[in-house]
Amino acid sequence: MAAVEPKVSIIVPIYNVEPYLKQCLESIAGQALEEIEVICVVDGSPDNCLAIANSFAEEDSRFQVINKENTGYGDSVNTGIRAANGQYLGIVEPDDWVATQMYSELWTAAEKHGFPDVVKGDYWRVTLSDSGEEVYGHSFHHDYVQPVDSLFTVEESADLLFLHPSIWSAIYKRSFLEEKQVAFLPIPGAGWADNPFLMDSLVAAESIVYIDEPVYYYREYIGSSTTVDPQMIVDRWLDMDDIIRRRGISSRKVLEAHYSRGCWTVKTLAENYSGSTVASDGILTIMGKLDGRAIIQSKKINAENKKAYLMQLPLKERLKLQFAARV
């Protein structure tokens, strides 16, 4: 445990990532912001991850290790949140790594803007990371999310909801998460648990700051979405829909972003899971919750996602919407 109250508690949910874990934890240990605590939650990992995490805790008093039975990513992060002491919380995926200045920059932005509920940064997409010839590219957040370095809410700007959840390139005020009862769903495995957390944390936040500076290195595994259980894809969008309804969200901008994700989900299911009853039933369920007029009139939902939505409609209804859009 850190000798002084940490400014940021960094939670690392760990399962079966032995080849990457040392690099991840070294990048955290070398942070320019020294007032941190690092909570390594080892989720019953069958490899050598526990020993690696323990070795860091033995050398650095800011590290602590929680070893528990396997219950999944979401429950592991919640376990770390309950053990945290920092004013803010951060999450680092154990197969990624962070820039040396990550938490100092996010903390500086928090101080500058009066300690908002969420402070988020940009990140690097790292492809071919196991080849020895890594390729680094800007995320889709870069030069897209507005405003930059200024306070806002998602009702004022929902740009962050249109993109990859990237919940790990942010810090969250611990008191805010507790007060608003924002937590991860304790679903099995990893299961895209970041999607509902993104929605819940941002729609509940009363103040958000985004800095357009890449501070995190995300290993991007190309083509991995095609191996995902279609039921999980359906369930995660429905989880986000439940959050919007539970929180009483009626903001046009938030709903537009939510419908965009819905259209993308329909497109993904239709293109990758042909013949699957789970996928076809899921498409029907999601289509019943989307607002066709809002989708067709949106200038932010891309054409491919709109087309995927329209192609699931009966011809008469599709033509009616397309005609209304031209009027």
- Name the residue type at position 161: L
Global pTM value: 0.94
pLDDT class of 37 with cuts at 50, 70, 90: very high
Number of domains in the chain: 2
The structure tokens listed for 126 are 């790292």
User: Are 121 and 253 members of one domain?
Assistant: no
- Kindly state whether residues 78 and 41 are assigned to the same domain: yes
User: What is the number of residues in the chain?
Assistant: 327
What pLDDT is stored for residue 2 in this prediction? 43
**Comparing 51-60, 124-133, 207-216, which segment has the lowest mean pLDDT?**
124-133
Q: Same structural domain for residues 60 and 97?
A: yes
Whether the per-residue pLDDT at 17 is higher than 90: the answer is: yes
pLDDT band at 114 (very low <50, low <70, confident <90, very high): very high
- Would you state the pLDDT for residue 1? 41
Q: Angle, to 10 degrees, between the axis of helix 252-272 and the axis of helix 303-310?
A: 70
Phi and psi of 167, rounded to 5°?
-65, -20
> Which of residues 163, 191, 222 is at a domain's end?
222
DSSP secondary structure code for residue 32 in this structure: S
Instruction: Please give the single-letter amino acid code of residue 81.
Output: I
Residue 311: inside a domain, yes or no?
Answer: yes
218 and 261 share one domain: no
| Residue 295 and residue 165 share a domain | no
pLDDT at 131 over 90: no
User: Is position 183 within any domain?
Assistant: yes
Dihedral class, residue 192 (left if φ above 0, else alpha if ψ from -120 to 50, else beta): left
Are 57 and 64 within 8 A, CB to CB? Answer: yes
Q: Give pLDDT tens digits for 272-326.
A: 999 999 999 999 999 999 999 999 999 999 999 999 999 999 998 888 887 776 6
DSSP code, position 248: T
Domain that holds residue 54: 8-222
